Amino acid sequence: MEPIPSQCDVVVIGGGPAGSVAATLLAQKGRTVTLLEKQQHPRYMVGESLIPDFWKYTDLIGASRKIEAEGFIAKAGGLINWNNQPRAHNFKDFGYTRPALHVERDRFDYILLNHARSEGVQVFEEVTVTGVNTQRDADGHISVAYRANANKSSGSIACRYVVDASGQSSVVGRQLGLREIDENFRFMSVWGYFENSRYFGYDGQAYTADRLADVQPTTYVTSIEDTDDAGWCWHIMLRASASVGLVLPLHRMKEAKGENEDWEAFFLRKIGATPILSDLLRDAAYIPGSLHMTRDYSYRLQRIAGPGYFLVGDAGGFVDPIFSVGCVMSFYAAYAGAWAVDRCLSQPEAEEAVQALFARQVEGRLEIARSLALPRYRAEGQASDLARSALQLQRSQVQELMQVVSTLTTRSENFDAMLTEAGGPGGAAVKYKRFERLNVN
């Protein structure tokens, strides 16, 4: 293996989707890019549902064919059962021509990281970033300190910019003390995997797993009763299993769990007590040891760009994942970040303006996501202006899709007002399908 270089234009921290896309775009612009990833890919990751917007990013970096060749599951749409009002929507109704996918993220992320490599990014795995020195030296360099896990050797790279795509580790954000947990939306998630689960098609009918080849699945979301709009579950069919997760406010999760109950038992009990979802899992087998959890979100960063650094993907903020926009938000920030780094490298004197431009656009998108996904969340002051401005820059059909999505749960009540202020489509669009009830035979 080649040695880690001591100097380059840009260091990207993290080889998830945001890091791979940002690094690839910068390499394609002719910049020298070193990407440091602390794990060895393929590695496990959650967040398996992708809305079809992601294709335009994989088109841009030239990775779409590789993703198509993998044969991930195309989904038919979303089926949201909120307070016993099941409704389904699909993306075709809003001008999308390519499918939303359910992906095993170890594979999806691996494809993108390998693509980065093939486009000239120097990728080093099992290398942990231990700190970033954003003080510029006389030559205008900042530095990134790392430790190689294999031989415990350490070193540092002098570079002009750092793109932090380290996910929830949020390396730069934590180091600079920029990360803030949103106390009003302090959620926790527990999830696991099941073999042989049934799933819902877009017709609202349940199918057995062996029908996946001929009936596309929906992403199924259900609210959890008596949690004041905060609790919900996901059910996502993958090729060999179903990903099933539970999201609750941290305090409710702790209240609900028995004192001597382990997390696995708690998870299975809670899922088993969720109507309809438990029917889908009636003949399914939980895969032992497949339990995962994450706590303490949502969070935001006080700022997402500063002298020498840009924060993209989950390193720049995390919102409740209910509408499957995580990867696409990450790609957007990665694209904007790569654009901004490239502009700054060409015109160092414009750094401040470019960073402010990046931050306004990306923050605006994050605010839209918060308004849609967090119960009774209201963007205020500048955040509200940025969100409105970002909404106005979306094509009409995407605004319409967001409006429909906002009516599917009771979490987005402030979104409609924002959309109206932004001059978006008036009146309630009814491009969704309503079901009286869902039955699992």
Q: Which residues bind other proteins (CB under 8 A)?
A: 56-57, 60, 95, 332, 335-336, 339, 343, 350, 353, 356-357, 359-361, 365, 389-390, 392-397
Please report how close the Cβ of residue 357 comes to other proteins at its closest, in angstroms: 4
Please report how close the Cβ of residue 163 comes to other proteins at its closest, in angstroms: 15
Please name the residues in contact with 258: beta carbons below 8 A apart, sequence gap of 6 or more. 266
Please report how close the Cβ of residue 367 comes to other proteins at its closest, in angstroms: 14
Please report how close the Cβ of residue 74 comes to other proteins at its closest, in angstroms: 22
Looking at beta carbons only, is 292 or 343 nearer to other proteins?
Answer: 343
Please report how close the Cβ of residue 277 comes to other proteins at its closest, in angstroms: 35
Please report how close the Cβ of residue 393 comes to other proteins at its closest, in angstroms: 6
Looking at beta carbons only, is 56 or 174 nearer to other proteins?
Answer: 56
Three-class HEC string of the chain? CCCCCCECCEEEECCCHHHHHHHHHHHHCCCCEEEEECCCCCCCCCCCEECCCHHHHHHHHCCHHHHHHHCCEEECEEEEEECCEEEEECCHHHCCCCCEEECCHHHHHHHHHHHHHHCCCEEEECEEEEEEECCCCCCCCEEEEEEECCCCCEEEEEECEEEECCHHHCHHHHHCCCEEECHHHCEEEEEEEEECCCEECCCCEEECHHHCCCCCCEEEEEECCCCCCCCEEEEEECCCCEEEEEEEEHHHHHHHCCCCCCHHHHHHHHHHCCCCHHHHCCCCEECCCCCEEEEEECEEECCCEECCEEECHHHHEECCHHHCCHHHHHHHHHHHHHHHHHHHHHCHHHHHHHHHHHHHHHHHHHHHHHHHHCCCCCCCHHHHHHHHHHHHCCCHHHHHHHHHHHHHCCCCHHHHHHHHHCCCCCCCCCCCEECCCCECC
Which residues make beta-bridge pairs with 194? 242, 286
Please report how close the Cβ of residue 105 comes to other proteins at its closest, in angstroms: 23
What distance in Å separates the CA atoms of residue 189 and residue 232, rounded to the nearest whole number? Answer: 10
Looking at beta carbons only, is 224 or 344 nearer to other proteins?
Answer: 344
Please report how close the Cβ of residue 334 comes to other proteins at its closest, in angstroms: 11
Please report how close the Cβ of residue 424 comes to other proteins at its closest, in angstroms: 10
Looking at beta carbons only, is 179 or 365 nearer to other proteins?
Answer: 365
Looking at beta carbons only, is 282 or 395 nearer to other proteins?
Answer: 395
Please report how close the Cβ of residue 69 comes to other proteins at its closest, in angstroms: 22
* Phi, psi dihedrals of residue 255, rounded to the nearest 5°: -60, -40
What distance in Å separates the CA atoms of residue 81 and residue 312, rounded to the nearest whole number? Answer: 32
Please name the residues in contact with 76: beta carbons below 8 A apart, sequence gap of 6 or more. 90, 201, 202, 216, 217, 218
Looking at beta carbons only, is 29 or 376 nearer to other proteins?
Answer: 29
Looking at beta carbons only, is 273 or 353 nearer to other proteins?
Answer: 353
